[in-house]
Amino acid sequence: MSTTAVPPMIQMTAVNKWFGVFHVLKNISIEVAKGERIVVCGPSGSGKSTMIRCINALEEHQSGRIVVNGTELARDLKKIDLVRREVGMVFQQFNLFPHLTVLENLCLAPVWVRKQPRAEAEANAMRYLERVRIPEQARKYPNQLSGGQQQRVAIARALCMNPSVMLFDEPTSALDPEMIKEVLDVMVELAEEGMTMVCVTHEMGFARSVANRVVFMDGGEIIEVQPPEAFFHAPKSERTKLFLSQILHH
Amino acid sequence: MTDAALPIAPPRTGPTAWLRTNLFGSWRNTLISLGSFALLVWAVPPLLDWFLFESRWGDTPPAECRKAAGACWAFVHEKHRLILFGRYPFAEQWRPLVGMAILLGLIGASCYRPFWRRWLLAVWAVGIAVMAVLMWGGVFGLRFVETTLWGGLPLTFLLTTVGVGAAFPLGVVLALGRRSKLPIIRAVSIGYIELVRGVPLVSLLFMASFMFPLFMPSGVQINALIRAQVAIILFAGAYLAEVVRGGLQAVPRGQIEAAAALGMGYWLTMRKIVLPQAIRLVIPGIVNSFISTFKDTSLVAIVSLSDLMLSTRQAIADPLWRPFFVEGYVFIGAIYLVFCFLMSRYSQHLEVQLNTGRRR
Ligand SMILES: Nc1ncnc2c1ncn2[C@@H]1O[C@H](COP(=O)(O)OP(=O)(O)OP(=O)(O)O)[C@@H](O)[C@H]1O
Ligand SMILES: [Mg+2]
């Protein structure tokens, strides 16, 4: 059906979602190609988190189709778990497991979900910790780390499952300014390696340098999808202009 | 480097300073201190007299004991075998003693964290089996001893350990059930918990003893000990469920979402993420439940199981020694106290140990 030779990594078609009577997502349609980096932005409450949480079924959509790497998200729990293994997610609040050490946080899912041998999982985990530049913290507990370090552990934890897509939901909003860069650097590297990424973020510098396309949402709708250059310099919609003027110079 | 010439005077130390700050810091503290002191002066000497100075030890005959102003520990001395082992055949009492030692050894070993491995469960299974063989007998040339003759401290420990050991998983399952998304499971869990919590243990014990057999096909007899044990498990399970539920509610949603995002299923998430955190949070409540269960086992006396409490009453029933029931109860009270205290201390220790990850 798709005209491109390579099927898209994520395909959302006319997705609608309601919280009770509140219509959070209205006819969301978007395709994300393999290796593409998408930045999603928009005012608070516009449904950005809800949208990316639909991609790994943390939220259930009520109509429309979501296909991730060839698997359609339906009510089938098996399929949901299948998709979740392929999709890594990084949360605003890190959500590390506080009762486990950093290394245990990283190895848990590979060992129990992917059934990797523990030694292999640990070696793999150490490699990812090196990539996010904190191998020396492996034996510590999450609460003994700074926010920036915790978020990097969270990224490494998601990467340990060897995902095809990474979702980021405002990964730097809970961080002190001096720690934002260390997390963004890791994300930029990841992008350079060709990871398919969907990032909800208000870091416009990151959007400019990394994104292939910027998605602007408001009131549960996708208002505008543009390459960053066009998005920042020639936004089409008035709402986008208003939003940009608010976040770029305040 | 520059710690010379500190402008602040060093804090005063020594007993006088300690007294001043801790006991006589203000007129109100002084009043409380003096009041407490007066209370001690009034209460302690007579108690010491009764416990020690005026008491009778060893094999003082009861007639002699009656003349003394203090306690008659000779009663405990005379009857300790009956109190501690109930009506278990006198010559065979080494068997429950060894069984009890095995049980306490297992409990002690289980308190040691590096032993929290899967093999510990196997060791427990073996230990309980050995204890059962010892108590029951009928094999290896051991005389068969009916459960109706089991009694005293080993019985109390057995009822508590098996009770707590089985009630804990039951409580966890009920707590998870109560928070399940499936309405039937939730309804059953809530119904069970509310029903069992709403009834005194005594009535559960009666029901287990007298009503259970009514539902059984005639001819099938379930041992009175097992019936009482089941009642204790069901009762303790309902309370533990509520304690564990409190912990489950305190685990942030983000934890479950993070686990889900990693592709972890419900049981894996509960086992590895939610329960470990939930249980850590409610250790004091869990140990409190365990302590209650330990003391509640004394209620099995009403269905004629001679646990520590009933065996003591049997000892007091001896007309010669009847006046010395206080000594009997003080003695077993001390036993209960020691074990409850140990449990409580261990819970505090465990809380500190397990919360290393939560320390900020
Ligand atoms: N579980 C829920 N139940 C009811 N309403 C919800 C729920 N989660 C989110 N909402 C509502 O849905 C709307 C969209 O929420 P969402 O979190 O997706 O917004 P967002 O764009 O991520 O905002 P922010 O920038 O503040 O994170 C909001 O109005 C929010 O109040
Ligand atoms: Mg959000």
Phi, psi of B217 (to 5 degrees): -60, 145
Mean pLDDT, residues B14-43 taken together = 86
Condensed to tens digits (0 to 9), the pLDDT of residues B6-24 reads 566 666 678 888 888 888 8
B100, B121, B144 - which closes a domain: B144
**B162 and B110 together in one domain:** no
Mean pLDDT, residues B258-285 taken together = 92
Q: In a mutagenesis test of the A interface, which of B251, B262, B269, B272 is the best target, namely the one with the most A β-carbons within 10 Å? A: B262
Q: How, if at all, do strands A37-41 and A213-218 pair?
A: parallel
User: Chain B closest CA to A113's CA: distance in Å?
Assistant: 6
Classify residue B34: in a domain, yes or no. Answer: no
Classify residue B359: in a domain, yes or no. Answer: no
Q: What is the DSSP letter of A234?
A: S
Q: What is the DSSP letter of B301?
A: G
Tell how many helices (H) and how many strands (E) occur in chain A: 9, 10
Residues of B in contact with A161 (CB under 8 A): 262-263
pLDDT at position B360 is 42
Whether A77 has a pLDDT exceeding 90, the answer reads no
| A91 closest CB neighbour out of B254, B272, B354 | B254
Degrees to nearest 5, angle at CA B172 with B338 and B234: 70
**B282 and B321 together in one domain:** yes
**B241 and B129 together in one domain:** no
**B275 and B136 together in one domain:** no
**B106 and B75 together in one domain:** no
Condensed to tens digits (0 to 9), the pLDDT of residues A185-194 reads 999 999 999 9
Give the percent of chain B with pLDDT over 70. 94
Residues of B in contact with A85 (CB under 8 A): 262-263
Whether B92 has a pLDDT exceeding 90, the answer reads no
Distance, in Å, from the CA atom of B311 to the CA atom of B303, rounded to the nearest integer, reads 13
Classify residue B2: in a domain, yes or no. Answer: no
Collapse the DSSP code of B174 into the 3-class scheme (helix H, G, I; strand E, B; otherwise coil) and give the result. Answer: helix
What are the residues facing A215 on neighbouring strands? A40, A225
**B116 and B67 together in one domain:** no
B80, B112, B144 - which closes a domain: B144
User: What global pTM score does this model have?
Assistant: 0.85
**B149 and B255 together in one domain:** yes
B144, B161, B177 - which closes a domain: B144
Whether B205 has a pLDDT exceeding 80, the answer reads yes
Please state, rounded to an integer, the average pLDDT across all residues of chain A.
Answer: 91
What are the residues facing A198 on neighbouring strands? A38, A167
What are the residues facing A40 on neighbouring strands? A200, A215
Element (H, E) at A221: strand A221-226
* Interface confidence (ipTM) of the complex: 0.92
**B195 and B317 together in one domain:** yes
For the beta carbon of residue A239, count every other beta carbon within 10 angstroms.
19
Domain count of the fold of chain B = 2
Classify residue B114: in a domain, yes or no. Answer: yes
Report in angstroms the alpha-carbon separations of A119 from A101, A103, A122: 16, 12, 5
**B229 and B113 together in one domain:** no
Nearest CA to ligand 1 atom 2: A19
**B216 and B274 together in one domain:** yes
Classify residue B20: in a domain, yes or no. Answer: no
Classify residue B191: in a domain, yes or no. Answer: yes
**B190 and B230 together in one domain:** yes
Asked if B170 and B162 touch (Cβ cutoff 8 Å), the reply is no
Token duo for residue A247:
């976040």
Condensed to tens digits (0 to 9), the pLDDT of residues A107-135 reads 999 999 999 999 999 999 999 999 999 99
CATH code where residue B196 lies = 1.10.3720.10
Collapse the DSSP code of A20 into the 3-class scheme (helix H, G, I; strand E, B; otherwise coil) and give the result. Answer: coil
Condensed to tens digits (0 to 9), the pLDDT of residues A209-242 reads 999 999 999 999 999 999 999 999 988 999 999 9
**B77 and B105 together in one domain:** no
Asked if A30 and A16 touch (Cβ cutoff 8 Å), the reply is no
pLDDT at position B146 is 85
Token duo for residue B339:
């074990």
Are B257 and A142 in contact (CB < 8 Å)? no
Classify residue B19: in a domain, yes or no. Answer: no
Condensed to tens digits (0 to 9), the pLDDT of residues A62-72 reads 999 999 988 88
pLDDT at position B357 is 52
Order of strands, edge to edge, in the sheet holding A37-41? A87-90, A165-169, A196-200, A37-41, A213-218, A221-226
**In which domain, by residue range, is B101 found?**
92-144
Condensed to tens digits (0 to 9), the pLDDT of residues B299-358 reads 888 887 888 888 888 888 888 887 888 888 988 999 999 999 999 999 888 888 887 555
Task: Check if A220 has its Cβ closer than 6 Å to any atom of ligand 1.
Answer: no
Classify residue B159: in a domain, yes or no. Answer: yes
